[in-house]
Chains A and B, each alone.
Chain A
Amino acid sequence: MIFHHEIDEALGYAPKMDVHVPGAPKLSLDAIGRAAITDHPGSVLLYMAWDKDEPGMVSTFTNTSVTSDPQTTVVKAFDAYTAKPVGLLGTGPMLVMLRLHTDMYLGLPGKWFMGIMGFLFMIAIISGVVLYWPFTRRLNFAAIRKQKSRRVLWLDWHNLLGVVTIVWALVVGGTGVINAYAEVMLGIWQRNELAAMAAPYAGKPTPAQLASLDKVLGNAMKVAPGMDPAFIAFPGTPFTSTHHFAVFLRGDTPLTSRLVKPVLLDGETGEVSDTSELPTYLKAVLVSQPLHFGDYGGMPLKIIWALLTVFTIIVLGSGLYLWAVKRSKVRRGARLSAGAQAAIGSSS
């Protein structure tokens, strides 16, 4: 997951972009939208999205209707200059890994389960901190007793690797739990804040004739000068009301690029209806994503992230080993004392 982008690229699942002369004019968004529908006749557009690192690319999300199963949505990248399709997104082996990692193909129950596992992971870390004191109070920091038994050696490594990764593991665990409940929190936002924004338009039908996408985007960007579009949600999708476009704008730093600002625009006229900040709980979800995957500080941070993951696996493995050794010792001890008692009993 840490190297998602690199693996997709290496396996050829990332779209290959043509090089255009600097300053070449981009096509209108309406032209991209038409190209996406021509590419998938009978479909409707759900979203259009922009990748921060690929300014010449527009991603289109199409499905048979705005309320179809999100798992059947087709995500296709188009060249912003020529409206040529450049490849499907969200396919390939890394998507399988992502699904296994988030819900194990079990939908919302799978996410709840993963969230609970993440929570237990955090409790395990805290219990390790509690045990750290009695096991190390007679030792110096990072003491590795190599001359003692194998069990003691693994105990010392377990304690060292565990204690130096506590903060990182708690952050990755905690942000993982938050991510697991992202869908639930999105639902809360839809029912409360979003519903309140759309309330004056309640009962209005889905627009028969959609406004020009370029007009929608242009009006939205006037609301927050200096911000770039992250994505447009079409009327009826989960990110907006049945009557509105929602344009989500973002800044350009690692933090502000996550904290998107929604602008609601009338689906028929393209005029701005309302704008707001996201509630704190949704901001928490958006900020927690980089802190979980470690993809926000360049390649060195990704490599560090991967090594710390290896450390965590060693801590888990050695913890299981130490527990198993201790249990077999206790059992043997119990058997010995039972045997001794039996011997005493028979002799008397």
Chain B
Amino acid sequence: MSKVPQHRATWRRVFGAPIVIGVLSLAGLLSALLAGDPGRYFSWFGVGLPIAIAAWAYCRK
């Protein structure tokens, strides 16, 4: 295994989840503004995701 892919794998492990959360947050922030009632429901998921993750991290052993 060469050194570069390993570095890339580390990068993905560290920043992968935060980027997915960030994209979903942004989508949620905009959907309530742009997409009517369905957008509003999605915003509760997207913007609320960080709270769910923190709750999961807190309750996990």
Contact = CB atoms under 8 A, between A and B. Distances in A.
Interface of A: 132-133, 136-137, 140-142, 144, 160-161, 163-168, 171, 253-255, 287, 290-291, 296-298, 300-301, 304-305, 307-308, 311
Contacts, number: 85
A167 B22 contact: yes
A163 B16 CA distance: 11
Given A142-B17, A167-B26, A171-B26, A308 B50 contact: yes
A136 B44 contact: no
A271 B57 CA distance: 63
Nearest to B44: A300
Contacts of B33: 254-255, 287, 290-291, 296
Nearest to A310: B51
State the main secondary structure of chain A at its contact with B. Answer: helix
Interface string B38-50: 0010011001111
Nearest to A160: B57
A127 to B, nearest CB: 16
B18 A304 contact: no
B57 A142 contact: yes
Given A137-B10, A137-B14, A164-B18, A304 B29 contact: no
B54 A171 contact: no
Contacts of B14: 132-133, 136-137, 141
